[in-house]
């Protein structure tokens, strides 16, 4: 069986972007109230939603076997 070659960027691109978005959300939460709070909810909510979606889609694939 031949191994599929993948670059580091293709493997770590999504986790890096999600980490940067989460860090921006945490930083926005420290800056102030009002619009900063909304920005922090978005910055921390999107990675959480994507993680849960990935978890459920993976669980569904394993469960259907």
> How many whole angstroms separate alpha carbon 51 and alpha carbon 13?
14
pLDDT value, residue 31: 93
- The CA-atom distances, in angstroms, between 61 and each of 14, 22, 23, 57, 64 are 20, 27, 31, 6, 5
Query: Residue 21 is encoded by which pair of tokens?
Result: 């978005």
Domain that holds residue 58: 8-63
pLDDT of residue 64: 53
Q: Domain tally for the chain? A: 1
pLDDT tens, residue order, the chain (65 aa): 677 778 888 889 999 999 999 999 999 999 989 999 999 999 999 999 999 998 888 777 655 55
> What is the greatest pairwise CA distance in the chain?
56
Residue 19 lies in a domain: yes
Residue 46 maps to a domain: yes
């Amino acid at each position: 069986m031949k191994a599929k070659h993948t670059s580091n960027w293709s493997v770590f691109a999504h986790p890096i972007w999600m980490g940067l978005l989460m860090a921006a959300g945490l930083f926005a939460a420290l800056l102030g109230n009002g619009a900063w709070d909304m920005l922090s909810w978005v910055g921390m909510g999107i990675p959480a939603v994507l993680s849960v979606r990935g978890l459920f889609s993976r669980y569904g694939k394993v469960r259907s076997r």
